Structure 1
Amino acid sequence: MVRPCFHLSIPAIDLQRSHDWYVQALDCQPGRRSEQASILDFQGHQLVLQNTPQLLEPGQPGIYPRHFGLVFETFTRWEQLRLQLERRGCLFSVPPKCRYSGGPLEHHTLFVQDPSANWLEFKHYTHSEAVLGCRDQSQVGDQDLR
């Protein structure tokens, strides 16, 4: 079964700088582009950067309430991205760590921010059923970062 492609449109204070960051830091492939927007291939998903020189709202001080990213199927792929970000000089807004260690929701996570202060999270769950399942568990997110 082929899954649908996810589409996300986000603000970009400096469209060129944001475009370059996604291409250079995360290996996103460029798509169509205009003075108002840039489309990127974000690991098979459509990410649209919208030129927004004057943000309508102030940036959020932490990871909540809004962030986006990817959940990798393998720890190896997550670790490759972590190392890639380090090699390319990207600063972690929340350093790589393991949440809920030893439990059914155990996962490795890291956060970065793009040049427009959009928060991105990349993670890998030790137990794949935790991505969309484990409904008997009540933990969501990181209480220390709320």
Structure 2
Amino acid sequence: MTQITQFHLAFPVRDLDEARRFYGGVMGCPMGRSDVSYQDFDFFGHHLVAHISGEGKPLQGGRFDGEDVPIPHFGMNLDREAWEALARRLRDAGIAFHEEPHLRLKGKPGQHVTMFLFDPSGNALEFKSFDDPEQTFIP
């Protein structure tokens, strides 16, 4: 199996500034890209994304690069070869994708391919492969 580089977790928060103070300030996690609905963190080398939920209610979906994404979700940032092999394995198994494998942030820093699916219990999974892994946490 190919070496895993980064765990990825997207989770709901009630207040982005509060999350920034806690994860960025108190925990010391460098902050990456963000907008009004989410904030990326370098969580000890792993990819954490806080999505605003509003009023402490569970978030049904967030927005990223103009697309709706299920929140919470988790997965891995893989190298391209492992990502492509996983996409083939999932297709060969007849797994239905929530988001078919596709390119995100086209032509922008942090460009990557991604795919979303749900496990049999309804947990949302995302698998990514960055064109340049050094751009995972860029603002």
TM-score by length of 1: 0.48
TM-score by length of 2: 0.50
